[in-house]
């Protein structure tokens, strides 16, 4: 009876404190990450307040609380810090301050206080040196209609944005159009997209529709990415990630999206039919037989002298997973799953040692009893 009672205590007590043990496991470097997100070149006199992307790696909507951290950063040796409060999934806004007044190369580094998470990057700044008096003159010039300023050629900047997005229905492929404009340099670009909520992806592999291409100087591209969401109707997040020139840090676009059920999209079913025709490209296939080849890239040109554009059609060639399949799982979350098994294993080992000790005691008593009888 004592042994049974001991086993129950060894198993029940650790289980009762499992939640506290999980909280202890959360306090580590796997909780947050930091990325430098400024993109060269910058111009003198510009103000930048979004220096870093801080991610809450354990964020799970409805379960995890927001995260408060402090970022210490330095710009060419000048140190400063900023408090970033209530981070849910991630935060980029108000993560620092940078206003270069002189052209040159600036080294920017940031670290999350209390962790080993850090990042560094070098930023090129172009333009003329700006003084305090020059700032007021520039502000006045912006408000006036200066013919010389209109004639001057503005430097090209690397830009990207979502210009078109289909309605999203459960189980039906949808397209989004990403417009990417190059700066004065050539670049190698990779883009992909997925739909998620919390740490779970609902559109197959996160990089399942990744597309790579070259971007010439001054060129503008319209890229079509296709996904299929398998999930219950509701509110989700759409993430578009862009990597330039094999950089470690990606550029992200996030949009709030709503996944709808096919039922109720039209009383006579015509609404559903039109959506299916739009996403499956039946009209394109009827007018252009070559469009059936999903690997084909379609090109179009604009007026002479303008920036040329190209449209890439990305096939959805990846296998969808079950909606309950978790694509991302952090190290600490995996560790928490092993805690209870470790406790149970330890309890069984302790029980075996106690049992072995009792067996030896019984054998010793029996041996002494036999010796007494012989005497």
- Per-residue model confidence (pLDDT) at position 164: 87
Predicted confidence band at 358 (pLDDT cuts at 50, 70, 90)?
Answer: confident
Of 57-61, 88-92, 130-134, 210-214, give the lowest mean pLDDT range.
Answer: 130-134
Count other Cβ atoms within 10 Å, centred on residue 31.
20
Q: Return d(Cα 118, Cα 53) in angstroms, integer.
A: 11
Pairing of strands 187-197, 211-215: antiparallel
Nearest to 193 by CA among 217, 232, 223: 223
Asked if residue 327 has pLDDT above 90, the reply is no
CA distances from 91 to 30, 57, 239 (A): 17, 12, 14
Residue, of 310 and 346, whose pLDDT is higher: 346
Predicted confidence band at 1 (pLDDT cuts at 50, 70, 90)?
Answer: low
Asked if residue 235 has pLDDT above 90, the reply is yes
Mean pLDDT, range 277-282, rounded to an integer: 47
Contact 298/285 with Cβ under 8 angstroms? no
Q: H or E segment at 276?
A: helix 270-280
Helices (H), 47-88: none
Strand partners, 109: 74, 120
Non-local (6+) Cβ contacts of 31 within 8 A are 56, 57, 58, 67, 115, 332
Phi, psi of 372, rounded to the nearest 5 degrees: -65, -40
Residue 116 tokens read as 């080993």
Residue, of 359 and 53, whose pLDDT is higher: 53
Name the percent of the chain lying above pLDDT 70: 60
Contact 192/241 with Cβ under 8 angstroms? yes
3-state secondary structure of 54: strand
């Amino acid at each position: 009876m004592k042994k049974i009672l001991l086993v129950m205590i060894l198993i029940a007590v650790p289980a009762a404190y499992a939640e506290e043990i999980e909280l202890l496991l959360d306090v580590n470097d796997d909780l947050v990450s930091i990325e430098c997100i400024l993109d060269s070149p910058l111009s003198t006199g510009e103000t930048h307040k979004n220096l870093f992307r801080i991610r809450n790696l354990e964020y799970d909507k409805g379960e995890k609380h927001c995260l408060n951290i402090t970022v210490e950063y330095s710009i060419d040796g000048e140190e400063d810090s900023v408090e970033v409060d209530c981070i849910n999934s991630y935060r980029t806004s108000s993560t620092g301050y940078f206003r270069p007044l002189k052209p040159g190369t600036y080294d920017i580094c940031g670290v999350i206080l209390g962790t080993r998470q850090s990042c560094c990057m070098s930023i090129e700044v172009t333009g003329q040196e700006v003084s305090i008096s020059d700032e007021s003159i520039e502000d006045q010039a912006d408000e006036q209609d200066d013919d010389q300023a209109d004639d001057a050629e503005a430097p090209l900047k690397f830009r990207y944005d979502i210009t078109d997005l289909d309605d999203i229905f459960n189980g039906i492929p949808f397209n989004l159009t990403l417009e990417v404009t190059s700066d004065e340099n050539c670049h190698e670009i990779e883009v992909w997209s997925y739909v998620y909520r919390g740490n779970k992806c609902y559109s197959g592999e996160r990089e399942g529709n990744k597309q790579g291409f070259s971007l010439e100087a001054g060129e503008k591209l319209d890229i079509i990415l296709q996904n299929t969401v398998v999930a219950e109707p509701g509110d989700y997040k759409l993430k578009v990630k862009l990597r330039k020139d094999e950089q470690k840090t990606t550029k992200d676009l996030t949009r709030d999206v709503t996944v709808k059920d096919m039922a109720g999209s039209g009383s006579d079913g015509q609404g559903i039919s039109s959506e299916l025709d739009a996403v499956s490209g039946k009209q394109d296939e009827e007018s252009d037989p070559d469009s059936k080849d999903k690997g084909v890239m379609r090109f179009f040109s604009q007026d002479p002298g303008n920036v040329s554009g190209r449209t890439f059609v990305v096939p959805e060639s990846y296998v969808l997973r079950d909606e309950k399949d978790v694509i991302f799982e952090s190290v600490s979350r995996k560790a928490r799953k092993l805690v209870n098994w470790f406790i149970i294993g330890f309890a069984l080992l302790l029980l075996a040692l106690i049992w072995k000790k009792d067996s030896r005691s019984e054998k010793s008593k029996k041996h002494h009893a036999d010796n007494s009888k012989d005497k």
